Structure 1
């Protein structure tokens, strides 16, 4: 296994929750909880915060969290971690892990599951999925993925895929953690948005449209992301139970 580095994009501006990375959870900002959980993944050599905010940058330094300042014009977390990876000097065959900054209950084992497929030299991009039921799959905010027998993603969609005949089938929910070989991350950023990406508003489709396979590891773990201030109550309860 080559060197693996985790990056946590931490943007200050958010339409639903401005300043979200700084939200206090059990006495520490949310970004610290994500970083602390990610650091428990044994495969990661280092975990680095990538931010566009001086306030977040200073808060990270006070808590001894490695941090890189990035441009405020980035439109996605993927672009932000690419800039941070370049500034950190990540080599082409090294693995860059994009860790969502709003997952303070992240299970470190999920990162291990994400990284494990890179034991095969041909693996260039990985992500995760977990089973959900028919009712959960109806939400357009819950992205579904269909897989080939070898674990490669065939398609991602906001629609329930594949079609359900009985309403009893399980679906696979896409979990937005990604692993990239650095060369694949560079290539991804150089490609223009494709038709399917624009239709679904899902940037991972850019890879599939350009023939770049994504290996999907199915996990038993679920996510508890913070999208809005009211979500903090749920994650605080989870973390308090784990203490």
Structure 2
């Protein structure tokens, strides 16, 4: 399958202004993400952004950038616009969406999201990690996957929630918001209206489940560091400056 890796990046972060351009070990954060996506060796890597400064920084480090509108409600909408511009003839089969604020993500973690698409019944693939810290089990900022186990490393997603679920004995899984879409699934998803559960939980992947689309989650070993605050940025700097 022909694959493209798209990294949405926007400047309008309230908690960490100009986040994609934040310096980490001498390079902008978005460049670190692009480097890790390239190391995953899945296919062409492009940063989709609404800001010329981000595009210039990306291109200055040897990566591609695609300009998109500034009014997209989500990263999925942004990568869809970029895909249409980059591949108007429809040659790409799979679109991998890597968040632009994961500068320490391991290339193997990015590659792992591709695995569930080996099953032709899967529309969208994503990632999960077993929760080991008790406080995360009740933290609404830690999104949980409720799913049917297909193997030791894969779940068929039934629901995503900010609540503590499922109830009873057994593992809980933290959802990592990295996705691999079949092209047709991405096009269908962005055309769907916002759904009731999506609005209630503030989780856009529920729109796909409510529409009957299948999402499988590959279980990996660790949660990549997402940079949302100045404190997160300092943690990322400490990690990457040691490498």
Do the structures match in fold with TM over 0.5?
yes
Partner secondary structure for residue 40 of structure 2: coil
Q: Unaligned stretches of 5+ in structure 1?
A: none
Which stretch of the first structure deviates more once superposed, 202-211 or 129-138?
129-138
Equivalent residue for 2:234? 233
How well do the aligned residues superpose, as a CA RMSD in angstroms?
A: 1.4
Question: C-alpha distance in 1, partners of 2:138/2:168?
Answer: 11
Once residues 111 and 3 of structure 1 are traced to their aligned partners in structure 2, the CA distance between those partners, rounded to angstroms, is 16
The aligned counterpart of 2:205 is 204
Alignment: residue pair count: 237
Q: CA deviation at 1:92?
A: 6.8
TM-score normalised by length of structure 1: 0.94
- Does 1:125 find its partner at 2:136? no
TM-score, normalised relative to structure 2: 0.94
1:107 aligned partner? 106
Q: Is the 8 A contact 2:4 2:92 kept in 1?
A: no
Contact preservation (8 Å) 2:121, 2:214? no
* Farther-moved stretch of structure 1 (84-93 vs 106-115): 84-93
Are 1:191 and 2:195 an aligned pair?
Answer: no
Secondary structure of the residue aligned to 1:40 is helix
Cα 1:57–1:93 shift into 2, 3 Å? closer
Equivalents in 2 of 1:5, 1:192: separation in Å? Answer: 25
Residue 213 of structure 1 aligns with which residue?
A: 214
Task: Give the C-alpha shift of residue 93 in structure 1.
Answer: 6.2
- 1:174 maps to 175
Matches within 5 A, 1:64-103: 64-89=62-87, 91=90, 94-103=93-102
User: Which residue of structure 1 lines up, in the alignment, with residue 160 of structure 2?
Assistant: 156
List per-residue Cα deviations over 1:89-136 (Å, max 9, x = no partner). Answer: 162761001101000001111121100222232222000000113321
Unaligned runs of 5+ residues in structure 2 are none
Post-superposition shift, 1:183? 0.7
